[in-house]
Amino acid sequence: MSTRLVVIGGDAAGGSAASQAKKRRPDLDVVLFERGRATSYSACGIPYWISGAVEHESDLVARTPEQHRANGLDVRMRTEVVGIDTDKGVVHWHDLDAGTEGTEPYDELVYATGSVPMRPPVEGIDADGVYGVQVLDDGVALRAELDSGRVRRVVVVGGGYIGLEIAEACRERGLDVTVVDRSATPVGTFDPDVGRFIADAVREEGVDLVLSDGVAAIDVGPDGRARAVVTASGRELPADLVVLGLGVRPNVRLAQEAGIPLGTSGGIAVDARMRTEVPGVWAAGDCVESVHRLSGQRIVVALGTHANKQGRVAGINIGGGYATFPGVIGTAITRTCSIEAARTGLAEHEAEAAGYEFLTAAVDSTTKAGYFPGAKPIRVKMTAERRTGRLLGAQIVGKEAAGKRIDALAICIWNEMTVDEILSLDLSYAPPFAPVWDPVLIAARKASEAVEADLRSC
């Protein structure tokens, strides 16, 4: 009798796990359940499709259900898993279009349900005209609303990555946009001094920022649609459309109901091979917790990069191989309006919470040789451990060609390099690409000098 693998969720983690397992064990029966209308798509690309930078919805799809089926997967679209019985080894499903229900047995189960948008418990949050942006179907609904011609004013609640990207998309469409966030600077994963650069760039593009002021309620008109956002300070912001950009939380309801244990972060607890504590049950993607390699803490990181890797690890192991997921260091990048912002490792408040003593150094430079046409400003900030000089974190903010420099620093953190070692790196140089002293090297030099001065004062 053949072994049956059931996968719940057909995006990055679920699709990768199913494909890897089937590739390694061609005799494996794989059933993949997806409640939406697309598989293996780029959720991160949704704002750029909404803005028009990406022309077609289909451009966001890496692998269609038909392509998965051609590789031997039994893909059940628009079918939601509504229950898991780990004792009997079955899942209960509901066909959202036909209304039919049934069960599917499994020998191995991959739980890859992703995440769901944060929705604050405020009056009016469930009104018409209030949208979250998490899955492709959300993007389809939001774009249809924006294409209707009745939207002129948009209020985005939340100034994180997705909030600012949606704000930019709406500005690209010529709409009036306001972003509300209870933090003093947008994108709270960045240190405040870097966040101020981001705020200035967003305002330069015509987006109104209402900071240090959260949402208290959404005012709903007689037609049942949202018509204004009311802030904690009492401001009333008129809106034809409200977008929730408050981040996400792991989608673990089914796991909890089935007795699959969660970790301290609220995500599903898994080991390095992506196994849960329930025999035969694996989990991957936005719904699981990962280990931060610097702080040692268990955290949930909702990024497609990790979801694909974790799904691949689970699939390799289910297929009879051996693979592990080594953890994360918090690398992220965004482009909003005219500015690129990137980070890796620990921000100052994270380093402090992890118990490190540290020093910081920040430098302002240019993306190319200062005299070369097109040179743009860039700021690089580094956080280094006292005494050892080990790089703990880095943040970059600047114009075109600034952000991807973060990858070099992510490699340095991954390999536990010191700022003195980074200072000596053999980085490429030519005037169209960098100054003779790359901004990364200048920041490393300044951080190294700070570490040496601290040692001398001890």
Q: Annotate 178-215 with DSSP letters as a single string.
A: EEE-SSSSSSTTS-HHHHHHHHHHHHHTT-EEE-S--E
- Phi then psi dihedrals of residue 313, to 5 deg: -60, -45
Minimal CA–CA distance to 218: which of 239, 247, 233? 239
Residue type, 136: L
Measured CA to CA, the distance from residue 392 to residue 348 in angstroms comes to 9
Q: Tokens 């004062």 — which residue?
A: 457
Adjacency order of strands within the sheet including 377-385: 332-336, 339-345, 391-398, 377-385, 358-366
- Phi then psi dihedrals of residue 279, to 5 deg: -55, 135
Residues 288, 267 contacting (CB under 8 angstroms)? yes
- Phi then psi dihedrals of residue 241, to 5 deg: -155, 140
- Count of C-beta atoms within a 10 Å radius of residue 149: 6
- 218-227, long-range: CB < 8 A, 24+ apart: 218/122, 218/123, 218/124, 218/125, 218/127, 218/130, 218/242, 219/124, 220/124, 220/127, 223/128, 224/127, 224/128, 225/127, 225/128, 225/129, 226/124, 226/127, 226/128, 226/129, 226/130, 227/129
Residues 267, 255 contacting (CB under 8 angstroms)? no
Q: In angstroms, what CA-CA distances link 327 with 15, 114, 269, 277, 331?
A: 20, 18, 13, 18, 12
Residue type, 417: M
Residues 320, 24 contacting (CB under 8 angstroms)? yes
| Paired tokens of 50 | 């909404």
Q: 3-state class of 243 per DSSP?
A: strand
What residues form DSSP beta bridges with 359? 384
Minimal CA–CA distance to 137: which of 223, 71, 212, 41? 41
458 catalytic residue (yes or no): no
Q: Which of 44, 287, 412, 458 is catalytic?
A: 44
Q: Which residues are catalytic?
A: 44
